[in-house]
Structure 1
C-alpha cells in the first residue's frame, strides 16, 4: 500500500532579505519533473507521489534553491546578476499561433464556484456540452445549472463567466473586468518574458508587465512543452483592486485547457465584485470599500472527453450559451454521478442557508435584480417599466407615469402591456396599450399590436431596433421645448435572422397635432393637423456580440463593437387617409477601441436623408442640448450622452444630415476607492441641409450647410455619479457673443 502513498507538503516562499515579502509564481520542480507554483502570498500546498521529492525552486530575480531543511518557510536569495534569458516576443507569438490544433472540437465541462463571506456560502454548479468550431467559435449547451438553495435559474447564473476560456485572445475577462492578454501579438510588446528553467522537454517562462503601473495586466509563469510547442501549465496573479490566483493545466494533444482553479478575494478595493450585484450580500466578494477581508471566491473547472474532428458541427442554434430546460433545483444525486469528486457536495443544504434565503427573500431579490438590469421591476405577473416613472421637460413639466408588461409568470408565448402618464404643466393624460404573440423563440419572432396617445420631440428620429436604453434619469429630456402630439396604432413584426442581426417591420397610422404655432404648407394647403400612414423597416447588426438562449428568452452575453443600425421609412399619400408621401433613410455605426492602459476611444458616424413632402415634425435634428437662455449660468443644466451641448434647441433642422462624434476616455484616476473620476475628450461635428424651408410656417431655423463644430471635455463621476462638462463652439456657426459659444453643465452617470 505504501507504493501508492502520497505525502502533503505545504509552506511559504519569501525573500531572504525581507521575510515579510512573499514570492509569488515561484516554480517548485520535483525529481519526476512535475511543476507546482507558489500563490500570490508565496504559499504552496502540493501532493507528492510516493518517493517523489522537491528537487529545486526557481523564480525570476532569485537564486535557485536546491537544498531543503524544511518547508514551512523557504527563503530565496535575490540574484546578484541577471541569469535569466530574455525571450523574444516572436517566440511567444509563435507558440500562441500553434497552441490549438486546427480542427473542430467537442468536449464536456463541469464547474463549481463557491463564494464564502459573512453570510452563508454561495455555491454555483454547471454541467455543459461544448463545441469549439471554426464557424461559431465557443458554444456551451448547458445540461444543468444550479445555485444551492435557489429553485429558479436567472440569466446571470447562466451567463456569468469567472474567467475567459481563451487566453490567446486580445483581452481576458476576469469577473466582468477586462485585462490585457500577455499572449496576444497586439499586447506581447507590453510584457517581458524570461526563461528561468529549461530541459530538453520543457521551458519555464516568467512574465510581467514591461512598465510599472500597467493597470490591466498580469504577472505569471508558464511551462512550455517544447516537443509540442504548446502550453503545459499556466499561472497568473493579480494584486490590485482585487486579488487573483489562477492556474490552468492544458490538454497535451489538443492544446486546450483541461483543468482550471481560480481564487479571487478582496484587494485594495475600488471595484465591486458580486455575482448578482444590487447590494445583495449573497454571492458578493467585495464592495468598492472592502469590508469582508476574509471573503473568497473559489472556482474549479474541468474539461474532458475531447474529440477533435473537422466533421464536428456547431450546435444548430447559433448562441454562445444555450440552456433550454429550466428544471428548477438540481438534485444532489445528479452532481454525485460524475467521476470528479469536487463537483459533488455530500452535505445537505444547511438550515442556516435555508433560513437566510427565506428571511432575506433572496430568490425574489435575485429575480428583481435580473429584471432591474433591463429597466423593469417585477411584481407578480407584471414587470413595471422603470423608465416611465419619472420625467421632466419644459412642455409637460413634471411627468409622472407607470408602465407595465406581463412577464413569463403570465405566459411565455403572449405578452400584454400598457402605460399611462400625466404632465402637471400641460395637464394632459397620455396612455397606450400593446400586446404580442411569440411566433418563434429561436429567432425571437414576435407579432405585436399597439395603440399610443402621447407626445414626441419635433425632429426626433428613433431607430426601431435600438436596444432598450435604461436610465433612471434622461439628461437631455429636461431641456426639450418643441413637441408634437400624436395618436397612433399599428402592427409590428420583430425577427432576428441571427442573434447578431435583429430586424423589425412596422406599419402604423398616426394623427398629428401641434403644441406650437407651426403649420406645413404643401400644394397650397396649410396643415397644422395631419394624418400619416407609414411603413418602417429597421435592422441592427452587432457582428461581435454574443448571445445566450435561456428557456424561450434571448439575452446578451457579451457586447463588442461595431454596432451598425439602418432604417428606411415610407409615408404613403392616400393610403388609409394619409396626407403626405415621403421617404426617410437613416444609418449609423458605433465603434470602440479599447487601449492597453485602460483608456477607450469611440467613434459614432451617422447619416440621415429624407425626400418628399416631409413636415418639420418628421425631419431630423442633430440632438441639440443648449437651452435658449441668455448666459452661461442660466444655461447650466445636464449634459446629454450623444448631443451637441452648444447647439441651441430649434436652431437647426435638416432633411439631409451627417454627424460625427469622437471621444477618448482616459483610465479612471484612482483618487480613492469611491472617488475615481474619468476624463473624456470630445469632438463633435455635423453637416446638413434642408430642402424647401419656406414650406414650414410659424418657425424660423437655420441649416447646417456650413458645418457645425464643437469640442470639449467631461470630468465624470466626481461625486455620486455627478461630474462636469465643458464644450466650445467654433467654426462657421461661431456666435458673435463669446459666452453664447460656451456650454458648462453637469453630467450624471449612475451604474447600479
Structure 2
C-alpha cells in the first residue's frame, strides 16, 4: 500500500491561513542551526524548529511578535514586520551554557526518560482506561507552496540560418506554480469513530471523500502513517517500525538531552531531545518528547526520520484531570523530499534527490517536484471513557461503512474544524475533472490487476499466468484464460482456461461458474470442470494465493505428471474471524503419465477414481483486516500465519476406489529487524493414512536434475525447495519440514552492484507406509532425515543472483560434487 502513497507523491502539504511566518534559528557565534528551539507566539501558542533549525508559524490571528528560546542561550523577542514572512533568528550563548552530554548516570535527561519508562502503564490510555471512544476528522493533502516556486517564463535565443531568433519556452515550474496556486495536487478527508475495549482498538470510517475518485482507493484509507500510541515499544512511521525512545531498552539506541521546560495545558513539561546513536542520518528516529514534570507522562511528541524522504509525526495531547492522564487530541504527519546520493526509480520513473553535501556531491538545479510535500492532520473530539462499549466485529481493525462515500455536504460541514478554503474547494472540482479526462481510476484499476497477474479486458480479466510456461513433460505450455470482473457482475463469475503442450501434444481446459452468497464475508459457491495435468506428490494448498511471476523456475525440469479429470463443487468464505477457507467436494479420474501402477490387495490400478471432501483454511490471528463495501482486505500482515488442509475420501461414493485421510499443515514466521535484516521461518508437515497412491503422497519439493556435472545441473533456484534433492528421489506418506532463512542488509560491492546476502538451512524427516504398494519408480525414504544449507546472493546485477547449496547428513552422496548445487536466482523489481 505504501506504493500508492509514493505514486501519489511523485505524480503529483501546507494548510493556508491568514498569517504564516517561516524562519530558521541559528547559533550566533557558530552560525549553525539549532534543532528544536521553542518558538512562542499568539497567546502562548508554541511550535519548535526542526532538525535543521527551520520553523513555520501558522495562525488565524495577526502576530505582532514571537519569542525564541533554547536552553543555554539567551531568549530573544522578534517583532513581526509588515510584508516580511521569513526570519533568521540568531541566539547568543549564555556564559553558563549547559554543555551537551552523552548518556551517563548524571545526565538529567536520562533520569527523566527512565521515570517515563517506569510509569508507562500508568500513563498509557490503553492500559489505564478500561474503555474509550471518540470521533476524529482527518484531512490529507499533497501540495506545494506557490511562493517557493520559480514563476518566470524562460526565454532563449536560437541560432539559425538568418541569425538568432528569440523564442519563449514555457517553464514546467511556471505551469506547476499555476496549478498549485489554484488547487492542491491531491486531497482526501475522512471522519471516523474510534472504539477501544477488551484491549482492542477499532476504527469505523463514517464518511470519506477522495478528490478525483468517485470511489476512494480503500487501501490508502487503511494505510498506517504513524502509530496511534507513543507508548508502544515499536513506533511506526510511514509503515516502518523503529524502537521507541521510551521502549524498555531505548537507552541502548538513543542519546538524550534536556532542552528546556515549557507549560502545556498549564502543566510544566520537560523538553527531551532524543537521537539515535548511529551516525547514519536514516538509521532511526530523532525528535523531542515533552514529559510532564509531575506524572512523567508524554504531553507532546515530535518524531522524525530524515533520509530519502524527510518524514515527521507530531502527537498532541490534552490533560484530563479526573483520570490524571494525557489523552491524544491530534496527530500531524508530514513528508517532504530529503537527500540521497542516488536517483531512485519507482514505477519506471526516476526521482532525483540532492547528493549529501557532507560527501561533496554537486547540488543539481531544483525542479518543481522538489517542493512537493504531503501533510495529514487528524483532530479528535467527542471523547468518552470508562463507559460500556460493545465493539461489533472487533477482529476488524478498520471498517468502512456502506454509505461512507455518499455523505452530503452538510455532513462534512458539521465535522470540519475549519471550512474548506477556496484552494481546497477547487481541488475537488479540479481533480474530479482531471480524473475523468485522464481516466485515472481506470489506470489504477489496471495497474492493480496487472500486479496480481491479470490483464483487464472490459468485462473479463485475462490470467497472465496462463499465456506461456514450460516444463519437461508438456514442453512449452501455451494457453489463454481468465475470469469475469465486477463490470460483468458483482454477484456472478465465469472463469476458465485452455492450454496446449507442444511436447505432449494434448489440450487441457477448465470451466467454472460461481455466485456470491455473502457480501460482508465474501462468500461464494461454485462448480467447475477440469481436464489437466499436475506434478506428482506435490502438496498444493488450495487456499493459498499464488503470487504473480513472469516465470516459475521450479517446474521447468519436472517430468513426472498425472492427468486428472475433475468435477468440483466449492464454497469459499471469510465468515470465520481472520480466516479464509475453501470447502470442496471432488470427483477425479486420475491417470499417471509415467511408469507407475498402484497395488492394493493384489489388484493393480494403472488409473483410478478418487472422490474426496476437502477443507482448506488459512488463519492469520495477528494480522489486521479492513472491511470495505467490496470485501475484506488484510492491511497489516503479521506473523505467524497458519495454513491447514484436511482431505477425506468418500468410499463407494461416485465410484471412489480408495479409503484414506490426509492432513497438511504449514506455518510461517517473519521477523524484520530495525536495522533492515530479516529472518524467515517455515515449518510444514503432512500425514496420510489409508490407501493412497504415490501421485497424492509427498515429495518434499525437490529441485535438482539428474546430470553428471555441477555445471550441467545449473538451473534457477526455487523459493522453499530442496536445491540438492533430485526429482523423484524421495517419497513419504508422512513428513516434517523446517526451513530458516536470514537475510542481511545489502552489501555494496560497486555503486550499481549491491547484492542481498541470505543464509539458508533446510531439513526434513519422513516415512513411507506400505512401500510395496507402489510399483514402477525407484525411490528412497526420509527416515534418517535430509539436510542442506547454502548461501544466496540475490540481485547481484539487474535482478540476477547466484545461490550455492550443500547436502550433508545421513543422505549425503558418495561423490562430493553430487552434493553441491549451484543455481541462478532472479528477482523482478517493478519498483513496488
TM-score (norm 1): 0.90
The residue aligned with 2:24 is 12
Distance 1:122 1:627, change over 3 A: farther
Gap runs ≥5 in structure 1: none
The residue aligned with 2:75 is 66
The question of 1:361 aligning with 2:439 is answered: yes
Given that 2:276 and 2:283 are in contact with CA atoms closer than 8 Å, whether structure 1 keeps it comes out as: no
Q: Which has the larger displacement, 116-125 or 646-655? A: 116-125
**When you count helix as a share of all residues, which structure comes out higher?**
2
Q: Which has the larger displacement, 387-396 or 479-488? A: 387-396
Given that 1:224 and 1:233 are in contact with CA atoms closer than 8 Å, whether structure 2 keeps it comes out as: yes
SS at match of 1:706: coil
Given that 2:588 and 2:609 are in contact with CA atoms closer than 8 Å, whether structure 1 keeps it comes out as: yes
Q: Which has the larger displacement, 670-679 or 189-198? A: 670-679
Distance 1:163 1:553, change over 3 A: same
The residue aligned with 1:211 is 278
Distance 1:245 1:602, change over 3 A: same
**1:470 aligned to which of 530, 539, 548:** 548
Shift of 1:646: 0.8
Given that 1:625 and 1:640 are in contact with CA atoms closer than 8 Å, whether structure 2 keeps it comes out as: yes
- 1:353-412 CA-partner distances (Å, limit 9, x unpaired): 466535543121111223334333322222222332332211122222232222222222
The residue aligned with 1:103 is 130
Given that 1:580 and 1:613 are in contact with CA atoms closer than 8 Å, whether structure 2 keeps it comes out as: yes
Given that 2:759 and 2:791 are in contact with CA atoms closer than 8 Å, whether structure 1 keeps it comes out as: yes
Cα distance in 1 for partners of 2:474, 2:353 equals: 43
Distance 1:593 1:328, change over 3 A: closer
Given that 2:281 and 2:306 are in contact with CA atoms closer than 8 Å, whether structure 1 keeps it comes out as: no
Q: Which has the larger displacement, 613-622 or 669-678? A: 669-678
Given that 1:513 and 1:528 are in contact with CA atoms closer than 8 Å, whether structure 2 keeps it comes out as: yes
The residue aligned with 1:112 is 139
Structure-to-structure mapping, 1:151-162, within 5 angstroms? 151-162=214-225
SS at match of 2:818: helix
Shift of 1:236: 1.7
The residue aligned with 2:382 is 305
Shift of 1:58: 2.4
Distance 1:721 1:178, change over 3 A: farther
Shift of 1:713: 1.5
**2:334 aligned to which of 255, 263, 282:** 263
Shift of 1:47: 5.2
Structure-to-structure mapping, 1:702-741, within 5 angstroms? 702-741=780-819
- 1:412-467 CA-partner distances (Å, limit 9, x unpaired): 22222111222222222211112222222222222121211111110111123223
The residue aligned with 2:49 is 38
Shift of 1:12: 0.2
Cα distance in 2 for partners of 1:700, 1:489 equals: 32
**2:108 aligned to which of 85, 88, 91:** 85
Distance 1:58 1:668, change over 3 A: farther
SS at match of 1:688: strand
Q: Which has the larger displacement, 427-436 or 466-475? A: 466-475
The question of 1:600 aligning with 2:678 is answered: yes
TM-score (norm 2): 0.82
**1:169 aligned to which of 232, 250, 253:** 232
Distance 1:6 1:552, change over 3 A: closer
- 1:235-292 CA-partner distances (Å, limit 9, x unpaired): 1222112111322212323634322222212234599999xx85589xx999999984
Cα distance in 2 for partners of 1:187, 1:392 equals: 52
- 1:449-503 CA-partner distances (Å, limit 9, x unpaired): 1211111110111123223433332232223222111111111222334341222
Shift of 1:80: 7.2
- 1:75-94 CA-partner distances (Å, limit 9, x unpaired): 45786733662414542323
Q: Which has the larger displacement, 104-113 or 672-681? A: 672-681
Cα distance in 2 for partners of 1:102, 1:334 equals: 30
Structure-to-structure mapping, 1:367-446, within 5 angstroms? 367-446=445-524
**1:221 aligned to which of 271, 279, 288:** 288
Q: Which has the larger displacement, 458-467 or 324-333? A: 324-333
Shift of 1:207: 0.8
Given that 2:137 and 2:416 are in contact with CA atoms closer than 8 Å, whether structure 1 keeps it comes out as: no
Cα distance in 2 for partners of 1:363, 1:280 equals: 20
The residue aligned with 1:179 is 242
Cα distance in 2 for partners of 1:144, 1:285 equals: 37
Pairs aligned (count) = 740
> Aligned-pair RMSD on alpha carbons?
3.3
Cα distance in 2 for partners of 1:337, 1:670 equals: 55
Gap runs ≥5 in structure 2: 1-16, 80-85, 102-106, 145-171, 356-363
Distance 1:287 1:17, change over 3 A: closer
The residue aligned with 2:5 is none
Q: Which has the larger displacement, 234-243 or 49-58? A: 49-58
Shift of 1:604: 1.1
Q: Which has the larger radius of gyration?
A: 2
Given that 2:37 and 2:68 are in contact with CA atoms closer than 8 Å, whether structure 1 keeps it comes out as: no
The question of 1:518 aligning with 2:543 is answered: no
Given that 1:624 and 1:646 are in contact with CA atoms closer than 8 Å, whether structure 2 keeps it comes out as: yes
SS at match of 1:82: coil
Distance 1:442 1:729, change over 3 A: same
SS at match of 2:654: helix
Cα distance in 1 for partners of 2:231, 2:481 equals: 46
Q: Which has the larger displacement, 400-409 or 634-643? A: 400-409
